[in-house]
Amino acid sequence: MKYLNDFFMEYLGFIPFKIEGNISFLNNYVEVILNKPLTDISEEELSFFLKRLLKKDVSINFLSNNSPDFIVKNWEQIIHSHPLRDYLRFLTPTINEERLIFKTPYPMVKARIANFQNEFEELLYKHLGKKLSYDILIDETLKPNLNIPMSSYEAVTLSHSTSVNSEDLEIILGKEFKKIPMPLNILPMNEGTSVVVSGKIFYIEHNERGPITSIYISDKKSSAVIKAFSETAITLFKNLALNDVLLLEGTIFYDNYIKEFAIKPINLIKLKSDPFERKDTYPQKRVELHLHSKLSSMEGLLDIDEIVNTAKKWGHKAIAITDHGVVQAYPGASGASSKHKIKIIYGVECYLVDDTKDKDFDYTKAKSYHAIILVKNTTGLKNLYKLISQSHLNYFYKRPRMTKSMIMKHREGLLLGTACEAGELYTAFLNNASEDEINRIASFYDYLEIQPLDNNQFLVAEGKVENKEALIEIKKKIVSLGEKINKPVVATCDVHFMDPEDEIFRRILMAGQGYDDADKQAPLYFRTTDEMLEEFSYLGSQKAYEVVITNPNKINDMIEEIAPIPEGTFPPKIEGAEDEI
């Protein structure tokens, strides 16, 4: 038997999940004994992972001798990956003389758990190490307040709770109504309760026999299913489509077919504009110069057509594509550019190594930094393609690397930016480099880059920067440096996903690669001009406008609109091929 963390380090060289427990190798299988509830991964996922890794069956058990108080204090963690979670979350555990009491306002929850009594008791046994008496009681005082005032809603809910003009809606069922929708994550589980909700359709299921139509909606907080029968089902199926946004008044009922609560529609309105979408309302627009698509080295999540379309809808003149070390997003970006009539700035975030100071330079041992390269014209495009090829063919070590001498040789038609905290300039500030050294580094670049504070918050958590104020000070130093050496400073997002809520997908992506901080995602989403001006307000309104709007647009104006791939087909020319055919 050995500690799981020791096993992971010996077997993998890193710790992929935060797990407290031991692992034992028996004759035909592996036994895992867990001391605490799993938080980073479910039991099924852990079992599958170890089974694939060790080619043996895996048994996962809990070795616990916890008091009932453990259940009360850790209930959310205990149930977070359980198949009955959608019901267990409506239980409130308490203790009465060493007896567990679970309270819920919903009889249906109690009935549902009674149907899965064995699974429920197994869950308790795992975390207590013993069987314990318990009761499930109905307590209607725990019901959520359905007359929630607008001031109680989060901002994301408020954005789609305001009144809708009649010309912006289409009545699909019933009549128009003026009521505030509640967030889907607090829907009551009580049959017959009247509710008003709003959401975007992400799935439609229609059964001609019946007929029955099921409409699945999401408000980015949770999801719900709207279920209609007979003529109402036909009406919904004929008039609704994926991505339609609905405002709905209906009643809660328990659907025995899907074994979940659903909403029976009474009044249903289709909204012509999407209130869930963020909008860029500032009169002058920014241009994003640092962005990673889903083709960027197992870290970006952006669909190119979607992000280009969003930039166009927001009124941005252009948008850059700067994947890590690669350019395979260019064909899709070119197509999206033609489709949505918006300029694409072609670029890359390279892995830069400095070979200009060391006669015994070895690119496999040199420290690499991030740097942004943007293409100004067709000459620059050709030079970038040369750099990409050389970095993969001649300087590949874990990642495709580019030397400074390579870039200087092929620099015509290119613009160089300092990138993020992993860039050469930001690193110099972190290391308290001398003024001469910082000036020397900055002289290599055409523009300097700063990003939102939360992008770099991990530096505080790691102890590399004292606090948020210290992060602000670094960014102010970069702005001052730009003024001193007469180089533009631009504010970028380092975009990896579209909306703040999408961080969960990158969390999964990074966890799969073994990052132990995958759950601590920076908010690398595509920000509006308004959001960026607010983010950099600590610079003062005039300087914030300069770095967010003026300078990125100046960079854009320096860049020609080009096609990354020439039109037409270019078959190989083989001497004598036509005669032979």
- What is the token pair recorded at 13? 């060289």
Query: Can you tell me the distance from the alpha carbon of 549 to that of 490, in angstroms, rounded to the nearest whole number?
Result: 8
Query: Can you tell me the distance from the alpha carbon of 547 to that of 533, in angstroms, rounded to the nearest whole number?
Result: 9
Look at the block and give the residue holding tokens 């669909």.
303
Residues 6+ apart with CB under 8 A from 198: 160, 161, 181, 217, 219, 245, 246, 247, 248, 271, 275
Tell me what pLDDT residue 64 has: 60
Terminal Cα distance for the chain, rounded: 70
The one-letter amino acid code at 369 reads: Y
**Chain-centre distance for alpha carbon 324:** 17
Tell me what pLDDT residue 332 has: 96
Tell me what pLDDT residue 152 has: 40
- What is the token pair recorded at 397? 């070590």
- What is the token pair recorded at 564? 């990354």
Query: Can you tell me the distance from the alpha carbon of 156 to that of 159, in angstroms, rounded to the nearest whole number?
Result: 5
Supply the DSSP symbol for 558.
Answer: T
Cβ contact 345:556 at 8 Å: yes
- Tens of pLDDT along the chain (581 residues) come to 678 888 888 877 778 877 777 787 776 677 777 766 677 777 777 777 787 777 777 776 655 667 788 888 888 878 876 778 778 888 999 998 778 999 988 887 888 788 888 889 888 887 777 788 899 999 888 865 544 443 443 333 333 444 556 667 899 999 988 888 888 877 877 788 889 999 999 999 999 888 999 999 998 878 899 999 999 999 999 999 998 999 999 999 988 888 788 999 999 999 987 777 889 999 999 999 999 999 987 889 999 999 999 999 999 999 999 999 999 999 999 999 999 999 999 999 999 999 998 888 999 999 999 999 999 999 999 999 999 999 999 999 999 999 999 999 999 999 999 999 999 999 999 999 999 999 999 999 999 999 999 999 999 988 999 999 999 999 999 999 999 999 999 999 999 999 998 888 888 888 777 777 777 889 999 999 999 999 999 999 999 999 999 999 999 999 999 999 988 888 888 888 777 76
Tell me what pLDDT residue 526 has: 97
- What is the token pair recorded at 156? 């994301």
**Chain-centre distance for alpha carbon 160:** 21
Q: Cα-atom radius of gyration of the chain, to the nearest Å?
A: 29
Query: Can you tell me the distance from the alpha carbon of 328 to that of 332, in angstroms, rounded to the nearest whole number?
Result: 8
* Helix (H) / strand (E) containing 196: strand 194-207
CB neighbour class for 165 (10 Å; exposed up to 12, middle 13-18, buried from 19): exposed
